[in-house]
């Protein structure tokens, strides 16, 4: 505990005064990771990273990008040593961690290409502008060849639902190949237990859209002169500041069911995860918290334990069952800041609903 406190104090100083010291941030994060120093107070390393970002009011992607950069360079140093070469010490490297993110996207699993790009970047031959141009070219080549572009922090999900699609059980997302429902295996034994039904992101959206039963503290009785409203919007774009491109809230729910004040709207941000890998490797969820009053993770019921391992205490967890009923595993708490950017969310939502 004392060791973790020391590291957290050092991280706070670096994040508040010197975010560019990415090597020091990486070393401290790696110390927590390798020593499992988080285990006494947090359910997972990811939960500790989310909490650290939240305490310091920084985007969680800042921490993960520095962890990624350090890990990539440490692997590069190891490969150079195996080849009898000497790499420039990590502390002497003057490359932005964002450059390593670009190198990772370009090289993918090709370590030889990654080493070549790191070599040229360290020597000053390749600039960030060069890497950005290279990534644009590689991305277009992959699109033309039918290969899905590499994503560092998980996969895109596309699941806008039109009314005529409400009964469609097929996955609307890019991850359908990873989690689509399959029929029974004709070669399986008759006594073998049936495989659990796998839910898709689109089905979870439908479950949230068709019922507001999960809304905490909902007032059931009609209130005089106050119309009760519940509206689900999918893939609502918000500008988090950690990317030049807008990020998207999987589901934004605007409701007046749980508030008594006239004219008050409560904003719920909901991140949907149907894949265990996507849930555990998503490093951007914390960025959405300030855009809503309450933040939730919605998962198939089989992923509840995994959701609990990454969620901060104030995040809510919703379990969606195979019959598309929604169960509140843990209610979300109201954000202390009441969602610093919640008004931006409401403005975006208003534009879509016009």
Helix (H, G, I), strand (E, B) or coil at 130: helix
The burial class, CB within 10 Å (0-12 / 13-18 / 19+), for 9 is exposed
Note whether 208 and 342 are same-domain residues. Answer: yes
Place of tokens 């140093």: 77
Asked if residue 7 is part of any domain, the answer here is yes
Using an 8 Å Cβ cutoff, are 71 and 82 in contact?
A: no
Instruction: Give the number of other Cβ atoms within 10 Å of residue 178's Cβ.
Output: 14
Does residue 261 belong to any structural domain of this protein? Answer: yes
Cβ within 8 Å of residue 51, ≥6 positions away: 42, 312
Q: What is the pLDDT of residue 168?
A: 36
Do 335 and 273 reside in the same domain of the chain? yes
Task: Answer whether residue 151 is part of any domain.
Answer: no
Q: Looking at the structure, do residues 204 and 320 belong to the same domain, yes or no?
A: yes
For residues 326 and 240, membership in a common domain is answered with yes
219 within some domain: yes
- CA dihedral angle for residue 171, residue 157, residue 204, residue 235, rounded to 10 degrees: -130
Cβ atoms of 247 and 238 closer than 8 Å: yes
Per residue in 169-205, pLDDT tens?
A: 333 333 333 333 333 343 333 444 444 457 899 999 9
What pLDDT does 284 receive? 82
Residues 209 and 334 grouped into a single domain: yes
For residue 299, what pLDDT is reported?
95
Kindly state whether residues 122 and 211 are assigned to the same domain: no
Q: Are residues 132 and 262 in the same domain?
A: no
Structure tokens that stand for 168 in this block: 């469609």
Regions of the chain with pLDDT less than 50: 149-196, 337
* pTM reported for the whole predicted model: 0.66
One domain, residues 224 and 80 = no
The number of folded domains in the chain is 2
Instruction: Identify the three-state secondary structure at position 167.
Output: coil
Residue 214 and residue 81 share a domain: no
DSSP conformation class of 219: -
Q: Is residue 193 part of a domain?
A: no
Residue 273 · residue 243 · CB < 8 Å: no
* Structural domain that includes position 332: 163-169+198-353
If residue 266 lies in a helix (H) or strand (E), which one and from where to where?
A: strand 266-272
Residues 103 and 26 both lie in one domain: yes
């Amino acid at each position: 505990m004392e060791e973790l406190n020391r590291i957290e104090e050092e991280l706070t100083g670096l994040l508040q005064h010197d975010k560019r010291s990415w090597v020091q941030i990486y070393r401290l994060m790696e110390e927590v990771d390798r020593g499992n120093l988080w285990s006494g107070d947090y359910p997972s390393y990811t939960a500790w990273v989310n909490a650290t970002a939240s305490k310091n009011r920084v985007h969680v992607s800042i921490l993960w990008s520095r962890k990624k950069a350090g890990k990539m360079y440490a692997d590069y140093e190891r490969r150079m040593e195996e080849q009898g070469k000497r790499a420039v010490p990590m502390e002497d490297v003057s490359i932005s961690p964002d450059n390593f993110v670009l190198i990772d996207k370009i090289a993918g699993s090709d370590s030889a290409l990654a080493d070549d790009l790191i070599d040229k970047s360290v020597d000053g031959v390749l600039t960030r502008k060069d890497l950005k141009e290279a990534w644009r070219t590689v991305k277009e080549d992959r699109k033309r060849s039918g290969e899905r572009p590499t994503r560092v922090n998980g996969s895109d999900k596309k699941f806008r639902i039109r009314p005529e699609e409400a009964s469609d059980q097929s996955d609307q997302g890019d991850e359908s190949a990873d989690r689509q429902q399959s029929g029974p295996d004709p070669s399986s034994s008759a006594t073998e237990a049936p495989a659990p039904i796998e839910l898709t992101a689109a089905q979870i959206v439908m479950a949230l859209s068709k019922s507001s039963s999960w809304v905490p503290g909902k007032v059931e009785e009609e209130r005089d002169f106050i119309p009760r409203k519940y509206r689900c919007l999918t893939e609502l774009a918000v500008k988090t500041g950690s990317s030049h491109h807008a990020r998207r809230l999987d589901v934004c729910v605007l409701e007046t069911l749980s508030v008594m004040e006239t004219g008050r709207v409560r904003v719920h941000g909901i991140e949907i995860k149907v894949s265990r890998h996507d849930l555990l490797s998503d490093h951007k969820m914390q960025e959405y918290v300030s855009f809503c009053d309450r933040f939730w993770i919605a998962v198939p019921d089989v992923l509840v334990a995994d959701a609990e391992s990454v969620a901060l205490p104030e995040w809510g967890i919703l379990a969606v069952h195979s019959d598309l009923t929604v169960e509140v595993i843990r209610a979300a708490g109201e954000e202390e800041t009441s969602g610093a950017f919640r008004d931006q969310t409401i403005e975006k939502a208003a534009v879509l609903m016009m």
